[in-house]
């Protein structure tokens, strides 16, 4: 039986891509449990399968085999619409490339998940503005993504991930496109959210970024080769 | 569930590439304008025919005397003196008959003062005008006693009145028909064109006795070329046709195997088949115009496919934050429908404008019905849904990861 209190529980999860040369394994029988309120950093060399793993956790992709329970619910058994509901309400996904819609104001960008949640306009806008204020962008509500800096864009993306009060934030190299100072600010924001009770799992290549987390998971060649508190993880990498 | 945001978003997407949207809509605009115009012209033609039918008088039969063969030359219907005025009186006694009028026609030159005019002179009885539902504009019809005594009186049509009298009141004046003086007792109201395009107002009516004895002469007094018969209703017509055939065969002492020496034509049936023809013609016009609507729809589909491909990344983002396939599908469907309906709106205006122009420039009869406009909108919405469905479905079925990686 899956652990009921775990936010994420993954068992013997594998993923392979079909290539002309035959199946190409990317994830090999991964087991992982993340408890409520954890702050997990995922590291590993390029091509080790981190993004693939995050996409499966974010219900953007499906595993080839193995089980995935989100909040005790078997995700593999859900249909497209139910998975869309999870992405909308339970998970907030933050991408390396921000992925904002350029023709919409920041408020509209942040409010977009609430459109799909079926909320009324007033409620949507109110919540979007409040979340934008929370990430420190209260004075940019009517602006457009191409008029603000990368760091600010990532804040907007985080606001969008937060707007529907998710229990889990998944971030795939959220600071990958940002300078070290801005990265620190973004990580401080993740730290705050985690302190507020949200479970955070983020992928990074920077040990300094990973240092903000409390648990470190290391990927190599589609397997988890290390799982422990942050301090030890950094030594293991050296 | 179509919300305000979705409409606003579709509007924004259309506005993002105005030139392309306008060109795509142009196909729809032309298609709808063509349909509206063709339907207006078709309806106009149908109404013209209907008006002509009504002006002819309803529930009419024409009974023609038979043909003769003289020296191997067949003379055609109406040539033999087989039909008589007393045949007409006998027909008038049949059940289902409202009125019967004999018709003896010829062409004659008319003179009034310095003016002269050649026209058809129709010898008949006073009830002919009622039978044709043809009101008198001025004066009165001639009477039965005029028929009995073969008086030289005439009822003239509007065209004749204009050509002989100009603005003068013809009633009470004397005109000459084939040199004989005739008193004008009345002027017929305006009738317009008949189904075959003849000017019905270019005519003069006189008592049939006068026509036979004083104008055209006949070797067979009492014989007429044709009889006009009006039935009390359309339903009574088939049975009446049978009864008339039987009666005339009996009166003409025809053996059962002999050919009839008369012909009965149902004018109402002829008129109806003519109305049917114009109806089919206008339908055909509409169908041809619909082809351009189809082409417009394909244009929308084409541009929607381009738009879906261009916006792959946006679709990926929307799916990633919780859009269901049906949300994505609705978004693109709505865009296609809005584009086709906006095109339809402009097309209706253009079509109505062209119809008005055709009417004022070429005197074409056009009738724009609310029905045709509602139909145009329904078709446009359907075209939008039909041609938008494939691109919208393509968008809805995208894999989020592949869509997000799309450059
Ligand atoms: N659609 C695909 N088809 C085939 N192979 C793929 C596909 N997507 C990813 N891969 C392969 O899967 C492997 C893991 O990719 P993934 O993006 O998960 O790595 P990553 O750990 O996130 O790397 P990075 O640190 O560079 O982001 C790579 O070798 C990649 O080539
Ligand atoms: Mg990656």
pLDDT (tens digit per residue) in A143-185: 999 999 999 999 999 999 999 999 999 999 999 989 999 999 9
Which range is most confident: A199-208, B47-56, B220-229, B375-384?
A199-208
Do B89 and B199 share a structural domain?
yes
Q: Are residues B337 and B300 in the same domain?
A: yes
Q: Are both B318 and B216 inside the same structural domain?
A: no
Segment A212-234 shows an average pLDDT of 88
Q: For A212-216, B29-33, B111-115, B368-372, which range has the lowest pLDDT when averaged over its residues?
A: B368-372
Q: How far apart are CA A17 and CA B363, in angstroms?
A: 72
A223 has pLDDT over 90: yes
CB B347 within 8 A of CB B31: yes
Count each helix (H run) and each strand (E run) in chain B, helices first.
Answer: 13, 12
Distance (Å, whole) CA B118 – CA B197: 18
Cβ contact A60–B16 (<8 Å): no
Residue B76 lies in a domain: no
B312's CB contacts (< 8 A; 6+ apart) are B398, B403, B406
Give the number of the atom of ligand 1 that is nearest the alpha carbon of residue A48: 21
Top mutation candidate among A20, A45, A52, A176 for ligand 1, by most atoms within 8 Å of CB:
A52
Choose the mutation target among A101, A115, A144 for the interface with B, i.e. most B CBs under 10 Å.
Answer: A115
Contact, A42 vs A170, CB < 8 A? no
- With 80 as the cut, is the pLDDT of residue B197 above it? no
B400 Cα to the center of ligand 2, angstroms: 15
Reply yes or no on whether the pLDDT at B395 is more than 60.
yes
For residues B221 and B311, membership in a common domain is answered with no
Binding site membership of A52 for ligand 1 (Cβ less than 6 Å): yes
Q: How confident is the model at residue B290 (pLDDT cuts 50, 70, 90)?
A: confident
Q: Provide the shortest C-alpha distance from residue B373 to chain A (in Å).
A: 34
B209, B235, B260 - which closes a domain = B260
Q: Is the pLDDT of residue B27 over 70?
A: yes
Q: What is the pLDDT of residue A238?
A: 40
**Angle value at C-alpha B404, between B399 and B405, nearest 5 degrees:** 105
For residue A204, the number of C-alpha atoms closer than 13 Å in the C-beta half-sphere is: 26
DSSP B180-242: EEEEEEEEEPP--B-TTS-BTTSEEEEEHHHIIIIII--SSTTB-SEEEEEESSSTTHHHHHH
Q: Residue B66: inside a domain, yes or no?
A: no
User: How far is the centre of ligand 1, averaged over its atoms, from the C-alpha of B321 (Å)?
Assistant: 22
Helix (H) or strand (E) holding A34: strand A22-35
Which pLDDT does position B68 carry in this prediction? 55
Whether chain B has a CB inside 8 Å of the CB on A84: the answer is yes
Q: Is B370 exposed, middle or buried (0-12, 13-18, 19+ CB in 10 A)?
A: exposed
- Check if the beta carbon of residue B387 is closer than 8 Å to that of residue B308: no
Sheet with A6-19: strands ordered across: A22-35, A6-19, A65-70, A73-74
User: How far is A48 from chain B, CA to nearest CA, in Å?
Assistant: 17
Q: Is the domain of B288 the same as that of B390?
A: yes
> CB count, 10 Å around CB of B147?
21
pLDDT of B76 reads: 55
The answer as to whether B69 is a domain residue is: no
Residue A138 is given by DSSP the state: G
Q: Is A222 on the interface with B (CB under 8 A)?
A: no
Burial of A132 (0-12, 13-18, 19+ CB in 10 A): buried
What is d(CA B137, CA B153) in angstroms, rounded to the nearest whole number? Answer: 16
Q: Which residues contact B221 (CB under 8 A, 6 or more apart)?
A: B212, B213
Evaluate whether residue B342 is within a structural domain: yes
Rounded to an integer, the average pLDDT of A9-28 is: 94
List CB contacts (< 8 A) between A55 and chain B: 401
Average pLDDT of the residues in B241-249: 91
Residue of chain B with shortest Cα separation from A113: B321
- Atom nearest to B402 CA in ligand 1: 1
Distance of CA A75 to the CA centre of its chain: 17
* B5 compared with B241, residue with greater pLDDT: B241
Cα A225 → chain centroid: 21
Res A233: pLDDT: 43
Is residue B75 a part of any domain in this protein? no
Q: Are residues B30 and B89 in the same domain?
A: no
> Which residues of chain B have a CB within 8 Å of the CB of A58?
320
Rounded to whole angstroms, the Cα distance separating A100 from B176 reads: 95
pLDDT at B56 over 80: no
User: Span B168-196, mean pLDDT?
Assistant: 87
Q: Do A99 and B320 touch (CB under 8 A)?
A: yes
Percent of chain B residues topping a pLDDT of 90: 34
Q: CA B263 to CA B247: how far, in whole Å?
A: 13
Q: Let me know whether B174 and B200 are in one domain.
A: yes
Question: Which of these ranges, A40-54, A72-86, B16-30, B311-325, has the smallest mean pLDDT?
Answer: B16-30
Containing structural domain, residue B339: 4-52+273-405
Per-residue pLDDT for B280 more than 70? yes
Beta strands in B262-359 (DSSP E): 262-266
Are residues B237 and B123 located together in one domain of the fold? yes
Which residue CA neighbors atom 28 of ligand 1 most closely? A47
Q: Region B352-373: what's the mean pLDDT?
A: 86
* C-alpha span between B186 and B207 (Å, rounded): 13
Please work out whether the CB of residue A24 comes within 6 Å of at least one atom of ligand 1.
yes
> For residue B78, with 0-12 CB atoms within 10 Å meaning exposed, 13-18 middle and 19 or more buried, which class applies?
buried
Nearest to B24 by CA among B386, B298, B292: B298
* Closest C-alpha among B127, B120, B273, B307 to residue B198: B120
User: Domain tally for chain B?
Assistant: 2
Task: Note whether residue B208 is domain-resident.
Answer: yes
User: How far apart, in whole angstroms, are the C-alpha atoms of residue A92 and residue A75?
Assistant: 16
Give CA angle at B347 (B344, B352), nearest 5°: 125
Contact B197, B56 (CB under 8 A): no
Is the domain of B278 the same as that of B334?
A: yes
> What pLDDT shows up at residue B233?
86
A93 touches chain B (CB under 8 A): yes
Residues B14/B307, Cβ–Cβ less than 8 Å: no
Mutate to test the interface with B, among A17, A78, A116 (most CBs of B within 10 A): A116
Does the pLDDT at position A236 exceed 70? no
Residue B321: which of A55, A81, A112 has the nearest Cβ? Answer: A112
User: Is residue A131's pLDDT more than 80?
Assistant: yes
Residues B238 and B89 in one domain: yes
Distance CA B162, CA B107 (A): 18
| pLDDT of amino acid B125 | 92
Chain B closest-CA separation from residue A119 CA (Å): 10
Does A49 contact ligand 1 (Cβ within 6 A)? yes
State the pLDDT at residue B74. 58
- Decide: A50 in ligand 1 pocket, CB within 6 A: yes
Contact B324 A116 (CB under 8 A): yes
Residue B200 lies in a domain: yes
Pick from B4, B5, B322: CB nearest A84: B322
Separation of alpha carbons B159 and B146, rounded Å: 24
pLDDT at residue A237 tops 50? no
pLDDT, tens digit (0-9, with 9 covering 90-100), for A40-91: 999 999 999 999 999 999 999 999 999 999 999 999 999 999 999 999 999 9
Whole-number pLDDT of residue B407: 77
Atom of ligand 1 nearest to the CA of A173: 27
Question: Which residue, judged by its Cα, is nearest atom 2 of ligand 1?
Answer: A17
3-class DSSP state for residue B145?
Answer: helix
- Which has more confidence, B407 or B339? B339
Alpha-carbon distance B339 to nearest alpha carbon in chain A (angstroms) = 19
Say yes or no: B23 and B133 in one domain.
no
Query: What DSSP element (H or E) covers A11?
Result: strand A6-19
Q: Tell me if chain B has a CB within 8 Å of the CB of A204.
A: no
Same domain, B245 and B351: no
**With contacts defined as CB-CB under 8 Å, which chain B residues touch A93?**
320-321
Residue B13: helix, strand or coil by DSSP?
Answer: helix
- Whether the Cβ atoms of residue B207 and residue B123 lie closer than 8 Å to each other: yes
- Establish whether residue A23 lines the binding site of ligand 1, counting it when its CB lies within 6 angstroms of any ligand atom: no
DSSP 8-state secondary structure symbol assigned to residue B260:
P
Pairwise CA distance, residues B122 & B200, whole Å: 12
Closest residue by Cα to residue A30 from A50, A55, A12:
A12
Query: Are the CB atoms for B302 and B388 separated by under 8 Å?
Result: no
For B69-113, what is each residue's pLDDT tens digit? 555 555 555 556 788 888 999 999 999 898 999 998 888 999 998
Integer Cα distance of B120 and A110 in angstroms: 86
Within a domain: B198: yes
DSSP structural state of residue A164: T
Contact A117 B322 (CB under 8 A): yes
Whether residue A139 has its Cβ less than 6 Å from ligand 1: no
Q: Is the pLDDT of residue A31 over 90?
A: yes
Of B206, B227, B260, the last residue of a domain is: B260
CA torsion angle B107 B109 B112 B113 (round to 10): 170
């Amino acid at each position: 039986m899956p652990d009921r209190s775990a936010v994420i529980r993954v068992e013997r999860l594998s993923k392979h891509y079909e290539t002309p040369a035959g199946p190409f394994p990317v994830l090999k029988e991964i087991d992982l449990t993340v408890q409520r309120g954890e702050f997990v950093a995922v590291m590993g060399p390029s091509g080790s399968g981190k993004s693939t793993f995050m996409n499966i956790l974010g219900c953007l992709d499906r595993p080839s085999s193995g089980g995935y329970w989100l909040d005790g619910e078997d995700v593999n058994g859900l249909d497209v619409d139910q998975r869309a509901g999870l992405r909308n309400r339970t998970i907030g996904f933050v991408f390396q490339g921000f992925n904002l819609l350029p023709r919409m104001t920041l408020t509209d960008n942040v409010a977009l998940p609430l459109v799909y949640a079926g909320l009324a306009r007033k409620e949507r806008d109110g919540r979007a503005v409040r979340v934008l204020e929370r990430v420190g962008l209260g004075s940019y509500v009517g602006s457009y993504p191409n008029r603000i800096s990368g760091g600010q864009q990532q804040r907007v993306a985080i606001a969008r991930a937060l707007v529907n009060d998710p229990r889990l934030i998944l971030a795939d190299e959220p600071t990958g496109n940002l300078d070290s100072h801005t990265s620190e600010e973004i990580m401080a924001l993740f730290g705050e959210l985690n302190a507020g009770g949200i479970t955070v799992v983020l992928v990074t290549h920077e040990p300094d970024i990973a240092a903000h987390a409390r648990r470190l998971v290391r990927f190599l060649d589609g397997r988890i080769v290390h799982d422990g508190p942050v301090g030890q993880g950094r030594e293991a990498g050296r | 569930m179509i919300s305000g945001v979705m409409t606003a978003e579709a509007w924004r997407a259309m506005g993002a590439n105005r030139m392309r949207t306008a060109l795509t809509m142009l196909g729809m605009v032309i298609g709808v304008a063509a349909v509206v115009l063709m339907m207006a012209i078709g309806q106009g033609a149908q109404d013209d025919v209907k008006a002509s039918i009504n002006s002819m008088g309803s529930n009419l039969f024409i009974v023609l005397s038979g043909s003769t063969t003289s020296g191997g030359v067949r003379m055609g219907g109406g040539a033999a003196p087989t039909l008589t005025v007393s045949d007409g009186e006998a027909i008038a006694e049949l059940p289902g008959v409202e009125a019967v009028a004999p018709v003896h026609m010829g062409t004659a030159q008319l003179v009034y003062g310095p003016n002269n005019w050649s026209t058809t002179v129709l010898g008949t009885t006073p009830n002919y005008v009622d039978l044709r539902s043809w009101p008198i504009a001025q004066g009165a019809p001639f009477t039965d006693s005029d028929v009995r005594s073969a008086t030289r009186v005439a009822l003239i049509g509007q065209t004749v009145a204009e050509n002989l009298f100009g603005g003068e009141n013809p009633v009470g004046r004397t005109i000459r028909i084939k040199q004989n003086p005739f008193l004008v007792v009345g002027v017929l109201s305006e009738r317009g064109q008949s189904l075959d395009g003849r000017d019905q107002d270019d005519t003069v009516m006189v008592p049939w006795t006068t026509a036979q004895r004083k104008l055209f002469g006949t070797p067979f007094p009492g014989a007429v070329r044709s009889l006009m018969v009006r039935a009390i209703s359309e339903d009574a017509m088939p049975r009446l046709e049978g009864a008339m055939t039987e009666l005339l065969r009996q009166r003409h002492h025809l053996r059962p195997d002999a050919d009839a020496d008369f012909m009965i034509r149902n004018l109402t049936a002829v008129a109806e088949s003519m109305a049917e023809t114009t109806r089919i013609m206008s339908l055909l016009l509409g169908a041809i115009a619909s082809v351009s609507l189809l082409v417009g729809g394909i244009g929308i589909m084409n541009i929607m496919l381009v738009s879906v491909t261009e916006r792959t990344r946006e679709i990926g983002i929307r799916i990633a934050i919780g859009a269901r396939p049906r949300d994505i599908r609705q978004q693109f469907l709505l865009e296609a429908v809005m584009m086709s309906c906006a095109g339809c709106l402009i097309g209706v205006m253009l079509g109505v404008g062209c119809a008005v122009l055709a009417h004022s420039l070429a005197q074409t009869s056009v009738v724009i019905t609310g029905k045709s406009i509602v139909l145009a909108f329904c078709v446009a919405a359907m075209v939008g849904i039909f041609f938008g469905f494939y691109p919208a479905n393509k968008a809805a079925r995208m894999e989020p990861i592949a869509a997000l990686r799309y450059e």
